[in-house]
Chains A and B, each alone.
Chain A
Amino acid sequence: MKERTRDQGGPGTLTDDLVVPEIDASALAGEPLADLAARYQLRPSAARPGVFVYARQLWDRRHFIVGFATARNVAMYTEARLGQLWQVLTPLLNAAVYYLIFGIILDTSRGVPNFLAFLITGIFIFNFTQRAFITTSRVMPDSLPLIRALPFPRACLPIGYVLIELEQLVMSMIVLTVIVLATGEPLTWYWLLALPALALQAVFNIGMGLSLARLGAGADDFSQLLPFLVRTWLYASGVMFSIQTIGSLRHHPTITYLLQINPAAVYIGLVRNSILESQRIGWPGSKPYSAGNCALYHTGKKAYLEYSAYCHGVVSMNELWLWGIGWAIVALVVGFVFFWQAETRYGRG
């Protein structure tokens, strides 16, 4: 068969406008095409499956999700000379910067015992949510080629992106453990509570990531705005100060309560209380209220930093766990349904 080199389909090659004949659709099969499709049990190709079927399809692709996350994680540093070492170097350098600013230059404790460990724990935990939010808001536009090439439940992509951040978090937690122990905190059985706390946070991030992926799949404006929203959230979540004991919030119990039950503050609080003994024993409300001891705490003297335990509690530890579970479930259910509703529209661009 001879190959033709000339492009036979280019525009402008048409000698004169073609008249396209009208074809009567019903004449094709002698019956309405929808009836023919029903008779042979064909389904509309743009239909989305039911929400439970979708969940099962997603479960069937679990190997893809994990493989996708791991491969992406490995590829992230392939252009760097130090390669995978950056997985450890990134959190280390982060901690070094905060140590330089807050530990040496400002030298402030803001009424918090072992402030450096408190701060770095907060930064690392918040960073997990922050990174998950920013990356999932861009996952659909970034993955258009993949979406248009292969059929698979699209929720694999945002979930995979959250898993990438989770894998990064594991590295951060190893670095964090070394730092926290170096600041003099003891290793106790309470440390194990960090695992369920982080698991809840990961579930929350997946749920929110699904919502953000759908929002970011449309107009680009949303993913441009998101970094500013997240940064505002950072300052409101008690990463660099303790919501429960900061002086300026002392006479605003409602605001304090609302700040403390916001998801980021909840997960940060849960992890801090499990790995920082100074936080656990100083948690307000963990000892019977004593006006005198609480007043001593508010003098700000270093010797009385742990007397915050004698002040009025904002949220008890048990309540904090319930909030953590609640946020995770609500975020997951809402995010999953919200993402699933637009399943057939991703890839449209």
Chain B
Amino acid sequence: MASGPATDGPEPTVIVDDLHVVYRVYGAGGDKGTAATALMRVIKRQRRPSVREVHAIRGISFVINHGDAVGIIGRNGSGKSTLLQAIAGLLPPEQGCVYSSGQAALLGVNAALLDDLTGERNVVLGCLAMGMTPQETKDRYQSIVDFSGVGNFIDYPMRTYSTGMAQRLRFSIASAKNHEILMIDEALATGDANFRAKSHERIVELRGEAGTVFLVAHNLAEIEASCNRVIWLEKGKIMRQGYDVPAIIDAYLEATGGEPRKRDKPQQNEHSATA
């Protein structure tokens, strides 16, 4: 649970310095989409109207320290996933910079691996792609499969998996290696209760191994249980951030018109005043 910043001199692992991210979207509307209109566009030297630029992150700065588990909350389209992709180095910044202590691994909701291959191949190739040796891969294989709990389906192509099974397997693969920075983008949303409990333990474990964890989830209970720090994004900017997770979540719920969370035990309220 919320444990606050490390006291013996925090050591930054991720620094985001005035980050702006702009990405291009192909196939946006605005064209009849026929060959004739396309030809006219080329003749008139117009830009494709179907290519739109989206200014998704508009100047974000923060410093994340060793051992932090950071929850990122915000409405749909507020830039949560884009921020994670930028931290992982998958979307180049338009302006500003992201500094990190190592390669961040991103587990996205759409991150299918190789759909036409069996789960077994996906585990092996995923491990090799992350830079494990064949021997390490062999050693970890069984524990990854056991953790994912997909059972006999491991011999089936991944396209036959249910959404939840595929996400469980992906999470198991990505968390098999001790990444310095692990980012989870709604990857646990479709897991069943048993798996969520297991993965929660694994996230706590990764934090204990002095890694840094980012978690994007719409399930605020998940964030409150796993994270010691929260960043609230709004329209590509930071609305509020800090270590007082319950207070920020309550403020977020109030602003977005959600019902206040009911908590089983009383919260430490001494942080609320300072956050």
Alpha-carbon distance A198/B79, docked complex (angstroms): 49
Kindly state whether residue A15 has any CB partner on chain B within 8 Å: yes
Kindly state whether residue A254 has any CB partner on chain B within 8 Å: no
The reply to whether A45 and B99 contact each other, CB–CB distance below 8 Å, is yes
Look across to chain A and name the residue whose beta carbon is closest to the beta carbon of B262.
Answer: A2
Stretch at the interface among A144-152, A201-209, A230-238: A144-152
The reply to whether B258 and A6 contact each other, CB–CB distance below 8 Å, is yes
What are the residues of chain B within 8 A of A72 when measuring CB–CB? 114, 117
Alpha-carbon distance A147/B100, docked complex (angstroms): 19
Stretch at the interface among B28-36, B125-133, B141-149, B203-211: B125-133
Kindly state whether residue B201 has any CB partner on chain A within 8 Å: no
Kindly state whether residue A28 has any CB partner on chain B within 8 Å: yes
The reply to whether A45 and B75 contact each other, CB–CB distance below 8 Å, is no
Alpha-carbon distance A145/B167, docked complex (angstroms): 13
Kindly state whether residue A68 has any CB partner on chain B within 8 Å: yes
Alpha-carbon distance A2/B264, docked complex (angstroms): 8
Residues of chain A in range 326-349 having any CB-CB distance to chain B below 8 Å: 344-345, 347-349
CB distance from A54 to the nearest CB of B (A): 14
With contact pairs A8-B220, A9-B218, A28-B63 given, residues A348 and B92 touching in the complex (Cβ less than 8 Å): yes
Kindly state whether residue A10 has any CB partner on chain B within 8 Å: yes
The reply to whether B157 and A148 contact each other, CB–CB distance below 8 Å, is no
Alpha-carbon distance A190/B75, docked complex (angstroms): 69
Alpha-carbon distance A334/B262, docked complex (angstroms): 62
Look across to chain A and name the residue whose beta carbon is closest to the beta carbon of B235.
Answer: A20
Kindly state whether residue B140 has any CB partner on chain A within 8 Å: no
What are the residues of chain A within 8 A of B237 when measuring CB–CB? 20
A-B contact count (CB 8 A): 195
The reply to whether A29 and B63 contact each other, CB–CB distance below 8 Å, is yes
The reply to whether A152 and B131 contact each other, CB–CB distance below 8 Å, is yes
Residues of chain B in range 222-264 having any CB-CB distance to chain A below 8 Å: 224-225, 234-235, 237-240, 252-253, 255-259, 261-262, 264
The reply to whether B108 and A61 contact each other, CB–CB distance below 8 Å, is no
What are the residues of chain B within 8 A of A52 when measuring CB–CB? none
Kindly state whether residue A85 has any CB partner on chain B within 8 Å: no
What are the residues of chain A within 8 A of B225 when measuring CB–CB? 1
The CB with the most chain A CB atoms within 10 A, among B13, B86, B130, is that of B130
The reply to whether B110 and A71 contact each other, CB–CB distance below 8 Å, is no
* Contact sample, A vs B, 28 pairs, CB 8 Å cutoff: A2-B221, A2-B264, A4-B220, A8-B218, A8-B256, A10-B76, A11-B75, A15-B256, A18-B234, A20-B235, A25-B18, A28-B63, A33-B15, A36-B12, A42-B99, A43-B101, A46-B86, A46-B89, A46-B92, A46-B93, A63-B128, A75-B157, A145-B111, A146-B113, A148-B85, A151-B103, A151-B130, A348-B24
B residues bordering A, Cβ < 8 Å?
11-18, 23-24, 26, 61-63, 73-77, 85-93, 97-101, 103-108, 110-117, 121, 124-126, 128-131, 133-134, 157, 170, 174, 218-221, 224-225, 234-235, 237-240, 252-253, 255-259, 261-262, 264
